[in-house]
Amino acid sequence: MTKMKSNASRACAWLSSLVWVAACNSSSPSGGRATEADAGSSSTTEDSTGVLPTNTGPESTSTNEGSTGAILSSSSDASSGGSATGSSTTGGQLASTVVFVNFEGGEFSDSGPAATMTPYPFEEERDEILQRMRAHYAAFDVSIVTEPPGEGPYTTAVIGVPQTPTTIEGLGPLDCGNAIADHVVFTFYSGQSPARLAAIASSTLAVSFGVGHHEDQTDLAARDPFDDAEFLDICVTPRSGPECWPDSDACGDDTQQNSYQELLISLGPA
């Protein structure tokens, strides 16, 4: 989706925001893991390992806690090729991008506070979270499902309770160019509403699809979006030192970011 200044390599840095910790991926799809680069290139003044607070609204302020920000691939192999099969959000064929929402937790080695995730405790709220996430991505060629597909690469969005207490709300990799198809992203429950959890999960997914941060909280691509935010079809100025250079086709140049148009470029229309 997005382009860096050089097509030969992508500048990557550990990034932090009020909603997620994101680590850049190289443009190479091999291995499916983020690589740490020079922390001095980060656009924030916080610790290069990432600083995120738990917040339940736009007025929350940052607290100082580090995170390893380690990134995992899902159990599927992104290089294996083939299309996914199974049930889509409407019961038909799956879209070209599949997101498996895992409410049951599990063991995720080398992933900081997400190393062990216990299940999301309120089964009656899971449908609301799913419906909100599906509404966020309704314009794009994405299937959001509750069972992993039988084959093909897919992204896993884990929503649950971290066994190790943390002040961050989410964790995921920033994949400039959306080069890798099988990331794992995390949303950490600590009392937030279903609307808040859906916003965090969708925002962190957007990071894994290559959309960088900005400051308009009505947009889900913001570093701290409102609970009722959407992906907006407007051009905004990214944070200083863009995490991914915006696609020039979205706004006519690479100095403005349009999360809606960039997701259309990355994922395709519904």
Tens digits of residue pLDDT in 99-118: 999 999 999 976 678 889 99
Top mean-pLDDT range of 2-6, 13-17, 61-65, 87-91? 87-91
Three-state SS at 134: helix
Question: Which percentage of the chain shows pLDDT scores above 70?
Answer: 64
Residue 1 domain flag: no
Q: Tens digits of per-residue pLDDT, 65-89?
A: 322 233 333 333 333 333 333 334 4
Report the alpha-carbon angle 5-10-16, nearest 5: 105
Tokens of 17: 């925001």
What domain count does the chain have? 1
Average pLDDT over residues 1-23: 34
Residue 2 lies in a domain: no
Residue 3, domain member (yes or no): no
- Structural domain for 106, as ranges: 14-267
Q: Is residue 4 part of a domain?
A: no
Please report whether residue 186 resides in a domain: yes
Residue 5 lies inside a defined structural domain of this protein:
no
Residue 269, burial from CB neighbour count under 10 angstroms (0-12, 13-18, 19+): exposed
Residue 268 CA: distances (Å) to CA of 23, 141, 204: 24, 5, 18
CA–CA separation, 107 vs 127, rounded Å?
Answer: 24
Those residues whose C-beta lies under 8 Å from the C-beta of residue 102, and which sit 6 or more positions away, are 156, 157, 158, 159, 160
Q: Is residue 7 part of a domain?
A: no
Does residue 58 lie within any of the structural domains?
Answer: yes
Residue 200 has pLDDT above 60, yes or no: yes
The answer on pLDDT for 207 being more than 60 is yes
Q: What is the pLDDT of residue 40?
A: 29
Mean pLDDT over the full length of the chain: 71
Q: Does the pLDDT of residue 147 top 50, yes or no?
A: yes
Dist. CA 114–CA 72, nearest whole Å:
10
The letter for the amino acid at 80 is: S
The three-point CA angle 152-91-259 to 5° equals 65
**Has this prediction a pTM greater than 0.95?**
no
